[in-house]
Amino acid sequence: MIKFRLFVNLGVAVSIVLFLSASDLIASVRITDNDKSLLQDKLNRFSAKGTLPTAALFLAVGLDFIGTPYVGKTLDRTMEENLVVNLQEFDCTTFVESTLAITLALKSGHPTLENFLEQLQKIRYRSGSLNGYTSRLHYFSEWMTDNQGKGLVKDVSSLLGGVNIPISLNFMGNHPDFYPQLKDNPTLISQIKLIEKNISSHNYSFIPKEQLSFYEDKLLDGDIVALTTRISGLDVSHLGIIFKKDGKTFLLNASSVLGSVSITPKSLGEYLNGSKNVTGIFVVRVN
């Protein structure tokens, strides 16, 4: 059952908060009428392609978002943690999450708003449960392992020939002023530090960018790729979806540099080598 409550967001756009109850899902959802229309359009147009392999459908839905503006921090416009649906503007993470949620709703055979919301919450939150700011999967390394545990994706970095990568996460805990929800909130900061410590205790594999050419042919259309970074306290700096064309590998991503969802003009190898802080990639395959 879905109940609706209208509210005005900053006096600009009228949005809808949905209080959704379905099986294991109980969440407060923030969505605009425009986003509902965009979602329904995608579900209608791609419903006939629901029989495609999941990775192919995932890539097709992602390509359909090309030109959508890049905007950062769309999940953090209010202090309250809601399930935010924003298909009109993306950062690199919300682009991948929204595309995956649409794909899973289509593959389920029930391409509805409610099903999409269930999938999005399952993807975005630890164990699929929205329980405040710290329940969101802020770090990709945890996003990867948590969604693998849910059976949605598989980390194939080691299977492709990846090597161990030590991860020591502390960026959010050490820089709470960068995050409105953490600033002046010692309780949440402590929770984040515990989460960072737990994630850092796990083992992860990655493909170093210097070795990408040896493994590039093993990357598949629709793979999710996250760029590992040497920036202290972080695990990755960017993510996107593999897109192959004319024998070359590119990245479909919400790009802050190009200002929209786009395909990198350079190949993946050239793209990685163009950033001194990028050390390599995680590779995650949609189930």
Q: Which of 43, 158, 33 is nearest to 103 (CA)?
A: 43
> What count of other Cβ atoms lies within 10 Å of the Cβ of residue 119?
24
Q: Which of 5-9, 25-29, 161-165, 277-281 has the lowest mean pLDDT?
A: 5-9
Interatomic CA distance for residues 101 and 181, integer angstroms: 25
User: Quick check: 4 pLDDT over 70?
Assistant: no
What is the reported pLDDT for 50? 87
CB 216 within 8 A of CB 58: no
Q: Note the pLDDT tens digit of each residue in 38-82.
A: 999 999 999 999 899 999 999 999 999 999 999 999 999 999 999
Average pLDDT estimate for 115-144? 98
Average pLDDT, the chain: 92
Q: Give me the sign of the Cα torsion angle 103, 153, 118, 66.
A: negative
Secondary element (H or E) of residue 249: strand 248-255
Q: Which of 25-29, 82-86, 170-174, 197-201 has the lowest mean pLDDT?
A: 25-29
Interatomic CA distance for residues 152 and 161, integer angstroms: 22
User: Quick check: 156 pLDDT over 80?
Assistant: yes
Tell me the pLDDT band of 1, cut-offs 50, 70 and 90. very low
What is the reported pLDDT for 27? 57
Give the orientation angle of helix 33-46 with respect to helix 92-107, to 10 degrees.
50
Task: Give me 38's structure tokens.
Answer: 């965009």
Q: pLDDT exceeding 90 applies to what percent of the chain?
A: 89
Average pLDDT estimate for 200-215? 96
* pTM recorded for the entire structure: 0.91
Average pLDDT estimate for 25-34? 82
Interatomic CA distance for residues 18 and 266, integer angstroms: 41
Q: Provide the 3-class DSSP secondary structure of residue 243.
A: strand
Task: Give me 81's structure tokens.
Answer: 């943690």
* Residue whose entry in the numeric block shows the structure tokens 């965009």: 38
Average pLDDT estimate for 114-131? 97
What is the reported pLDDT for 285? 98
Q: Which structural domains are found in the chain, ordered by start?
A: 2-138 (1.10.3670.10), 152-167+202-286 (2.30.260.10)
> What count of other Cβ atoms lies within 10 Å of the Cβ of residue 27?
22
Average pLDDT estimate for 134-159? 98
Instruction: Let me know if 97 is exposed, middle or buried by CB neighbors in 10 A (0-12, 13-18, 19+).
Output: buried
User: Quick check: 237 pLDDT over 80?
Assistant: yes
Selected residue with higher pLDDT from 8 and 270: 270
Q: pLDDT exceeding 70 applies to what percent of the chain?
A: 91
User: Quick check: 248 pLDDT over 80?
Assistant: yes
What is the reported pLDDT for 77? 93
Average pLDDT estimate for 120-149? 98
Q: Provide the 3-class DSSP secondary structure of residue 253.
A: strand
User: Quick check: 251 pLDDT over 90?
Assistant: yes
User: Quick check: 15 pLDDT over 70?
Assistant: no
User: What is the distance between the terminal CA atoms of the chain, rounded to a whole angstrom?
Assistant: 29
Average pLDDT estimate for 91-97? 98
What is the reported pLDDT for 17? 52
Interatomic CA distance for residues 252 and 241, integer angstroms: 5
